[in-house]
Amino acid sequence: MKENIYDVIIIGSGMSGLSAASILSQLGKKKVLVLERHFKIGGFTHTFKRKSEHGEYHWDVGLHYVGQMEEGTATRAMFDYVTQGNVRWNKMPDPYDVFIYPDFNFKIREKESNFKYDLINKFPHEEKSIEKYFVDLKKVSAWFGRYNFSLTLPLQARLISSVISSKGSNLALMTLKEYLDQNFSDVKLKALLASQWGDYGLPPSQSALAVHALIVSHYINGGFYPVGGSKEIADSIIPIVESYGGALFVNNFVKEIIIEKGKAVGVKVSEKKGNGFIDIEYYSEKIISTAGAYITYTQFVPKTNEPGFIDEVKNFKLGAAHVNLYLGLKENPAKLGIKGENYWIYNSYDHDQRFVSNDDLIEGKVNGVYISFPSMKDPEARNHTAEIITFTRYKPFEKWASEPWKNRGEEYQKLKEKISDALINFADDHLKGFKKLIDYKELSTPLSTVYFTGNPEGAIYGIPAAPERYKMKWIGPYTHVKNLYLSGADAFGHGIVGGLMGGAITAALVMKGIRGIPNVFKEAMKFQYKK
Ligand SMILES: Cc1cc2nc3c(=O)[nH]c(=O)nc-3n(C[C@H](O)[C@H](O)[C@H](O)COP(=O)(O)OP(=O)(O)OC[C@H]3O[C@@H](n4cnc5c(N)ncnc54)[C@H](O)[C@@H]3O)c2cc1C
């Protein structure tokens, strides 16, 4: 008789894994096991803290702002349902995103009408194209809805899926650069419209218009931040899962999916115990992997069950990696006129050139950054914090990959110092006085991402949102192995709401197939009305 049996096993405890676990527990009354390789539950929603003489600082690793959290929206209803209403959302200041270019600044105000008005005001000669841009964003967002629906159809209905997602795909699957070049002539306006590309990690020449439209629309009514930080998400969901007999284990590294007669029936896990590891097997009827398509197909699925499309997965370009400078501030950034909005600071109008010049970072040269002020968005934060993020590649850091975490040697430490100083100086050039606020600093590199998540080369957003991604048949919740599902960035979409909705939909599919989806949304709406 097999031991360690659960109804559903979920690999990964990020937003998608937690969302699926909560719904499977609440609605399906399932006994769910969540397995996480990190020593904390939460994936990119986990937080960490450091102490200094000025106090304790808390940072989120992968949540700075979330859109569509207004009361009454389907996304908010779903969030409230999976967390049982225990995550409170704080509205960010309006304007929420500020773009700083060499010779102009632009602030995005909440609401499409304001955004459009401000764009036309600044670029009146492009008025017609700006009007058309907002119409096209809606068309492309509608395509995204159809595309995501097509992913939920069983594999046997792939022909119908292709028909559903083909309508509108010519527009949605242009690159952003192609779209901007066809419709606009002003170089500054083209750069400005692409300013949020850091939210999906691909510059205009590589990103699908689809993902751009999704992100712009996602934030169009402003940003929200979870009171208490992103750890509140896991803190709310863990007790829900446990109350239905489920469990969430950290330090549990999934090595392989056990497949018997073509069906996934369990997982082989290496659990960290003290200084060593022990091997354990867990069994269940259904398994959801949220570790990403790349890890799932190249590492979890045994060679004997390799899918026919394995080379496509292996050869698909990996996504962007990043460095994140976590800062503890001894003074309130309000002193500099900052209210908690995000800053996107660029030293040129050419986002593509900037992206390929990312290796300059190793030489201490910064071309652009994103700065977030978590403490200013959180009414319960005790001490002030900031994060400076920029994209980079894994390669320049690779030579330290086999060195132990927190002890990668002097040369690595010096490189981190150089990058940190360069990021701080770049920020200070644009936000005068910023440097003087800093009390504590710590830089994470792509090696940190690999170490904690296992993501190949430190990629942060899963399979990159290039037009080709949306043509790949292996993107989506179903896999070639019966009872094995994918969720998270590579099943539906990246981001907190991508993870939330993807987790919810995969949970529905696991419980009742496509018929389960309306049920999950109905329950979420019911919970909203009860509140
Ligand atoms: C710097 C940064 C900033 C971001 N900012 C925002 C933002 O402001 N707003 C927004 O909406 N989104 C943001 N995102 C994106 C967002 O955080 C992610 O898209 C989302 O959290 C992904 O959730 P997920 O569940 O798909 O994946 P993850 O959170 O990555 O969860 C997958 C989990 O699987 C685990 N895992 C992998 N392999 C194994 C294994 N072998 N065994 C066991 N466990 C395993 C990993 O450790 C991880 O915990 C940001 C991301 C980053 C990195």
Smallest CA separation from ligand 1 atom 35, residue: 12
- Compute the 3-state secondary structure of the chain and give helix, strand, coil in percent, each to the nearest 5: 45, 20, 30
Q: What percent of the chain has pLDDT over 90?
A: 92
CATH architecture of 320-456: Alpha-Beta Complex (3.90)
Which of 60, 63, 390 best tests ligand 1's pocket when mutated (most atoms within 8 Å of CB)?
63
Taking the centre of ligand 1 as the mean of its atom positions, its distance from the CA of residue 495, in whole angstroms, is: 8
Taking the centre of ligand 1 as the mean of its atom positions, its distance from the CA of residue 125, in whole angstroms, is: 41
pLDDT at position 354 over 80 = no
Closest by CA to 517, choosing from 236, 133, 100, 148, is 148
Secondary element (H or E) of residue 421: helix 410-430
CA angle 514, 246, 493 (to 5 degrees): 40
3-state secondary structure (DSSP) of residue 196: helix
Amino acid at site 127: E
Whole-angstrom Cα distance, residue 304 to residue 296?
Answer: 14
Tokens 């083209």 belong to residue? 190
pLDDT at position 404: 87
Smallest CA separation from ligand 1 atom 6, residue: 63
Average pLDDT for residues 86-95, to the nearest whole number?
Answer: 98
CATH architecture of 5-45+69-80+228-316+464-530: 3-Layer(bba) Sandwich (3.50)
Which atom of ligand 1 sits closest to the CA of residue 489? 26
Smallest CA separation from ligand 1 atom 37, residue: 291
Please write the tens of the pLDDT for every residue from 152-168.
Answer: 998 888 778 788 888 89
Smallest CA separation from ligand 1 atom 4, residue: 62
Contacts of 369 (CB under 8 A, 6+ apart): 343, 344, 345, 388, 389, 390, 423, 426, 427
Average pLDDT for residues 30-53, to the nearest whole number?
Answer: 97
> Higher model confidence: residue 244 or residue 158?
244
Positive or negative, the CA dihedral 70, 71, 76, 82 is positive
* Window from 46-50, 94-98, 163-167 with minimum mean pLDDT: 163-167
Taking the centre of ligand 1 as the mean of its atom positions, its distance from the CA of residue 247, in whole angstroms, is: 20
Please write the tens of the pLDDT for every residue from 266-275.
Answer: 999 999 998 8
**Do 225 and 195 form a contact (C-beta atoms < 8 A)?**
no
What mean pLDDT, rounded, does the chain reach?
95
Taking the centre of ligand 1 as the mean of its atom positions, its distance from the CA of residue 289, in whole angstroms, is: 13
Backbone conformation region of residue 141, classed left if phi is above 0, alpha if psi is from -120 to 50, else beta: alpha
3-state secondary structure (DSSP) of residue 395: helix
Average pLDDT for residues 369-381, to the nearest whole number?
Answer: 97
Residues with CB under 6 A from ligand 1: 11-17, 35-38, 43-45, 62-66, 252-254, 290-291, 295, 322, 324, 389, 453-454, 460-461, 488-489, 494-499
Whole-angstrom Cα distance, residue 519 to residue 517?
Answer: 5
Please write the tens of the pLDDT for every residue from 201-227.
Answer: 999 999 999 999 999 999 999 999 999
According to the CATH classification, is domain 111-220 in 1.10.405? yes
Smallest CA separation from ligand 1 atom 16, residue: 495
User: Where along the chain do its domains lie?
Assistant: 5-45+69-80+228-316+464-530, 111-220, 320-456
Q: What percent of the chain has pLDDT over 70?
A: 99
Which of 34, 44, 322 best tests ligand 1's pocket when mutated (most atoms within 8 Å of CB)?
44
Please write the tens of the pLDDT for every residue from 482-520.
Answer: 999 999 999 999 999 999 999 999 999 999 999 999 999
pLDDT at position 236 over 70 = yes
Structure tokens at 209: 């218009």
Tell me how crowded residue 173 is: count the other CB atoms within 10 A of its CB.
21
Tokens 């995103």 belong to residue? 97
Taking the centre of ligand 1 as the mean of its atom positions, its distance from the CA of residue 292, in whole angstroms, is: 10
pLDDT at position 295 over 90 = yes
Taking the centre of ligand 1 as the mean of its atom positions, its distance from the CA of residue 78, in whole angstroms, is: 19
Structure tokens at 277: 């590891």
pLDDT at position 3: 62
